[in-house]
């Protein structure tokens, strides 16, 4: 299977292990992800908080570039996925399409569709293909799946899973052999990009998620969003000040896919985490 | 275009709200807001636009879309918050300057390079907000893990991006 690949800014920096593990798993599954040449930032929340047209034109340039490739897009980052989808939907209105094409100086019909990596793997590559590759099941690893906001909301944009009680990552983790614990905070917000301007606020929001995950009996949280990852993983030391009993390792779902398929931890970027997952993985005989 | 019309165009139907409060009950940031989303919707119903534009809530809103997902009247409070942020920004009414500075800095960097550069984003944000050493330790830890790009590099299509920015800058329609 061949797709245009939109890594987005995070996958090259703050979320680089998501990029590394995505490429490793794709290679292992014989999926061809071709990076969109000269892609640009989707504008994230800062663009849609500033100007609607700006927030559509920035991701639309990437849609136009993928259209030239003639390939649908796969975007691992929940935020990029959400913005690309928003542009795709807006372009269906002729008035928006004309304005955006004018701004870009290139044609963009909105016929190219964007799929999040999780949706792509679970619903297009399919569980049979994935299960066949699992040679080291994640036996005894107790996880909660955390979807956050932008992967599943708004439903009209994201479409592939339930906005209140999504299941695709849970099913995937079961397929990898993990013990999946149900919890009511799957789609609760981590604070998103308020982490820089309002750090204390997001510490509370992300801290609550970690605490609830622990209370549910989880040994790790699985995520599909680099911003969620950063908020949950990078500031645990600061949260310990609130009397929390941490660390609690956080994983990208792609890292756990890679591990269960026998790929080496270094080839998945596990050494890039702030909260070191090594002890947990050793205890589960997964390293 | 006035605010009311802009809301309508964006699909925000504040007159449909029957003040059930589900949005505020669901809002993960309500604890830090001066007025929860239900309250802001009420302001709009009463025509109290200034109160809405001046509130801190519109900047603290994390755009998580929980309120809109749960609203039984399809009011779309999340989109309302977004419209209010845009308008408040255009009118330079900013009750939470740090959030606006963050957004502006973020966009400034995209305008320059076409992609984000975390190091420059953090340094600029700290300089403008006068908190020189904010997250310095985190920054060092990020560098060590290769989580901050080296020198920022420009994309080839930067001209297109500059045009987009120039033509949408301070658009008042
Ligand atoms: S959930 Fe909807 S109807 Fe209820 S108070 Fe909020 S906006 Fe109004
Ligand atoms: S979108 Fe904003 S107002 Fe609505 S629930 Fe989320 S944070 Fe609260």
**Residue A101 forms contact with B (CB below 8 Å):** no
Does residue A122 sit within a domain? no
Q: What span, in angstroms and rounded, lies between the C-alpha atoms of B19 and A131?
A: 48
Give the chain A residue nearest B106 (alpha carbons).
Answer: A46
pLDDT of residue A24: 98
Contacts 24+ apart (CB under 8 A), B50-54: B52/B84, B53/B84, B53/B87, B53/B88, B53/B91, B53/B93, B54/B88, B54/B93, B54/B95
State the residue range of the domain holding A225: 135-283
Binding site membership of B31 for ligand 1 (Cβ less than 6 Å): no
**Degrees, nearest 5: CA angle A126-A132-A137:** 105
Per-residue model confidence as pLDDT tens digits over B51-71 = 999 999 999 999 999 999 999
Contact in structure between A147 and A221 (CB atoms under 8 Å): no
Q: Considering chain B, what percentage of its residues have pLDDT values greater than 90?
A: 73
Q: CB B33: neighbour CB atoms within 10 A?
A: 19
Which residue's CA lies nearest to atom 5 of ligand 2? Answer: B27
Ligand nearest to the CA of B22: 1
Q: Are residues A276 and A151 in the same domain?
A: yes
The alpha carbon of A87 is separated from its chain's Cα centroid by a whole number of angstroms, namely 19
b/e map of A40-54 (b: 16 or more CB within 10 Å)?
Answer: bbbbbbbbbbbbbbb
**Residue A156 forms contact with B (CB below 8 Å):** no
Every domain of chain B and the residues it spans:
3-90, 97-169
Confidence of residue B144 (pLDDT cuts 50, 70, 90): confident
pLDDT of residue B58: 97
Which residue's CA lies nearest to atom 8 of ligand 2? Answer: B27
Examine the pLDDT at B173 and tell me if it is beyond 60.
Answer: no
pLDDT of residue A127: 97
Q: Are A149 and B149 in contact (CB < 8 Å)?
A: no
Please give, rounded to a whole number of angstroms, the shortest distance from the CA of A131 to a CA of chain B.
Answer: 32
Expressed in angstroms and rounded, the spacing between residue A77 Cα and the centre of ligand 1 is 30
Q: In total, how many domains does chain A have?
A: 2
Q: Which of A93, A99, A101, A92 is nearest to A61 (CA)?
A: A101
Examine the pLDDT at A154 and tell me if it is beyond 70.
Answer: yes
Average pLDDT, chain A: 95
Per-residue model confidence as pLDDT tens digits over B66-118 = 999 999 999 999 999 999 999 999 999 999 999 999 999 999 999 999 999 98
Q: Considering chain A, what percentage of its residues have pLDDT values greater than 70?
A: 100
pLDDT of residue B1: 61
ipTM exceeds 0.85, yes or no: yes
pLDDT, average across residues A122-129: 97
pLDDT, average across residues A10-39: 96
Q: What span, in angstroms and rounded, lies between the C-alpha atoms of A12 and A32?
A: 19
Instruction: Using CB atoms, pick whichever of A47, A188, A193 lies closest to residue B107.
Output: A47
Average pLDDT, chain B: 92
Q: Are A46 and B103 in contact (CB < 8 Å)?
A: yes
Longest dimension (CA), chain B: 53
Q: Are A154 and B138 in contact (CB < 8 Å)?
A: no
Q: Are residues A247 and A140 in the same domain?
A: yes
Q: Are A51 and B168 in contact (CB < 8 Å)?
A: yes
Q: Which of B53, B121, B24, B65 is nearest to A197 (CA)?
A: B121
Please give, rounded to a whole number of angstroms, the shortest distance from the CA of A69 to a CA of chain B.
Answer: 16
Expressed in angstroms and rounded, the spacing between residue A156 Cα and the centre of ligand 1 is 19
Q: What span, in angstroms and rounded, lies between the C-alpha atoms of B167 and B148?
A: 30
Q: Are residues A217 and A174 in the same domain?
A: yes
Q: Which fold has domain B3-90?
A: Fumarate Reductase Iron-sulfur Protein; Chain B, domain 2 (1.10.1060)
The pair phi, psi for residue A185, each rounded to 5°, is: -110, 20
Per-residue model confidence as pLDDT tens digits over A28-45 = 999 999 999 999 999 999
The alpha carbon of A281 is separated from its chain's Cα centroid by a whole number of angstroms, namely 22
pLDDT of residue B118: 87
Q: Are residues A59 and A172 in the same domain?
A: no
Q: What span, in angstroms and rounded, lies between the C-alpha atoms of A149 and A152?
A: 6
Q: What span, in angstroms and rounded, lies between the C-alpha atoms of B99 and A218?
A: 33
Question: How many contiguous H segments (helices) and E segments (strands) does chain A have?
Answer: 14, 8
């Amino acid at each position: 299977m061949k797709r245009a690949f939109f890594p987005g800014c995070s996958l090259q920096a703050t979320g680089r292990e998501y990029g590394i593990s995505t490429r490793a798993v794709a290679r292992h599954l014989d999926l061809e992800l071709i990076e969109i040449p000269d892609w640009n930032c989707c504008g994230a929340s800062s663009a849609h908080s500033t100007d609607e047209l700006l927030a559509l034109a920035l991701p639309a340039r990437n849609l136009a570039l993928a259209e030239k490739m003639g390939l649908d897009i796969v975007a691992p980052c929940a935020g990029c996925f959400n913005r690309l989808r928003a542009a795709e939907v807006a372009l269906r209105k002729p008035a928006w399409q004309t304005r955006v094409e004018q701004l870009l100086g290139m044609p963009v019909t909105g016929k190219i569709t964007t799929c999040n990596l999780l949706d792509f793997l679970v619903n297009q590559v399919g569980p049979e293909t994935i299960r066949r590759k699992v040679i080291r099941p994640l036996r005894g690893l107790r996880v909660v799946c955390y979807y956050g906001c932008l992967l599943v909301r708004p439903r009209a944009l994201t479409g592939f899973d339930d906005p209140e009680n999504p299941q695709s990552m849970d099913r995937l983790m079961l397929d990898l052999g993990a013990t999946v614990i149900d919890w009511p905070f799957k789609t609760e917000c981590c604070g998103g990009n308020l982490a820089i301007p309002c750090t204390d606020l997001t510490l509370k929001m992300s801290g609550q998620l970690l605490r609830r995950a622990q209370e549910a009996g989880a040994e790790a949280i699985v995520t599909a969003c680099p911003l969620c990852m950063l908020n949950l993983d990078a500031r645990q030391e600061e949260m310990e000040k609130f009397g929390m009993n941490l660390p609690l390792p956080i994983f990208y779902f792609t890292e756990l896919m890679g591990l269960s398929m026998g790929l080496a931890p270094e080839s998945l970027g596990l050494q890039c985490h702030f909260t070191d997952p090594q002890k947990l993985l050793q205890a589960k005989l997964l390293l | 275009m006035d605010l009311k019309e802009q809301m309508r165009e964006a699909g925000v139907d504040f007159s449909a709200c029957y003040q059930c409060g589900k949005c505020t009950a669901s809002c993960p940031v309500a604890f830090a807001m001066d007025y929860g989303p239900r309250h802001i919707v009420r302001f709009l119903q009463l025509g109290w636009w200034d109160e809405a534009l001046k509130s801190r809530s519109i900047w603290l809103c994390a755009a998580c879309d929980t309120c809109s997902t749960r609203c039984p009247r399809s009011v779309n409070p999340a989109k309302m918050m977004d419209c209010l942020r845009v308008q408040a920004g255009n009118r330079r009414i900013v009750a939470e300057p740090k959030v606006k500075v963050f957004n502006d800095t973020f966009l400034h960097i995209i305008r320059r390079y076409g992609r984000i550069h975390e190091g420059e984003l953090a340094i600029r944000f700290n300089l403008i907000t006068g908190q020189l050493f904010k997250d310095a330790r985190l920054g060092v830890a990020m560098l060590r893990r290769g989580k901050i790009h080296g020198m920022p590099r420009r994309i080839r299509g930067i001209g297109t991006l500059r045009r987009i920015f120039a033509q949408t800058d301070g658009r008042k329609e």
